[in-house]
Amino acid sequence: MSTIALSVALLAPTFALAHDAAKGRHGGWRVDAGKYHTELVVDGSSNVLVYLSDADDKPIPAAGFKGTAIFIIDGKSQRFALAPAEGSKLVGTAPAPIKRGVKGVVQLTAPDGSSAQGKF
């Protein structure tokens, strides 16, 4: 019985990592958001960049997408809009500086009206 318990304990971190954020091509953290990937890039300022890609990590034009970021900043939930910019990028300005490792979600609405959410 203890062998089974030990095996489960050793494998549990592996399963947990399967859904964690991965390092993205722009230096941020990439997570799944429905059929999309979202990469969150913050630099300690209030500027927020979110890059969009498909399941094969190919960039998707951000034109026509809408986004909302909801992050815990200084212990409070803060919500702000993300707007399409050039290429595959959505941009927004947080009400306060955001540090790497921030917790929260990015909600997307695609041009076809479908929605998705990526958790950071």
Residue 34 has pLDDT above 60, yes or no: yes
User: Which secondary structure element, helix H or strand E, spans residue 3, and what is its range?
Assistant: helix 2-17
Q: Compute the average pLDDT of residues 102-113.
A: 97
User: Which secondary structure element, helix H or strand E, spans residue 104, and what is its range?
Assistant: strand 104-109
- Secondary structure (3-state) at 33: strand
Assigned CATH topology for domain 22-119:
Immunoglobulin-like (2.60.40)
Residue 22 pLDDT: 85
Residue 5 has pLDDT above 90, yes or no: no
Residues near 10 by beta carbon (within 8 Å), at least 6 away in sequence: none
Q: Quote the CA–CA distance of 4 and 86 in Å, as a whole number.
A: 52
Q: What is the pLDDT of residues 44-88, one digit of tens each?
A: 999 999 999 999 999 999 999 999 999 999 999 999 999 999 999
Give phi and psi for 4, each to the nearest 5. Answer: -65, -45
The three state secondary structure string of 43-92 is CCCCEEEEEEECCCCCECCCCCCEEEEEEEECCEEEEEEEEECCCCEEEE
